[in-house]
Amino acid sequence: MKNFITNYINNLTNILQQLDITSIEEILLNIEKAHKKNSKIYIIGNGGSAATASHMANDLSVGLKIRDIRNFNVESLSDNSSVCTAIANDIGYENIFYTQIKIK
pLDDT digits 0-9 by tens, 56-74? 999 999 999 999 999 899 9
pLDDT of residue 50: 96
pLDDT of residue 42: 96
Give the pLDDT band of residue 103 (cuts 50, 70, 90). Answer: confident
For 76-93, b/e burial (b = at least 16 CB within 10 A) is bbbbeeeebeebeeeeee
Q: How distant is the alpha carbon of residue 94 from its chain centre?
A: 18
Closest CA relative to residue 1, chosen from 9, 80, 23: 9
Whole-model pTM: value is: 0.80
Is residue 104's pLDDT more than 90?
no
Q: In terms of C-beta density within 10 A (0-12 exposed, 13-18 middle, 19 or more buried), how is residue 55 classed?
A: middle
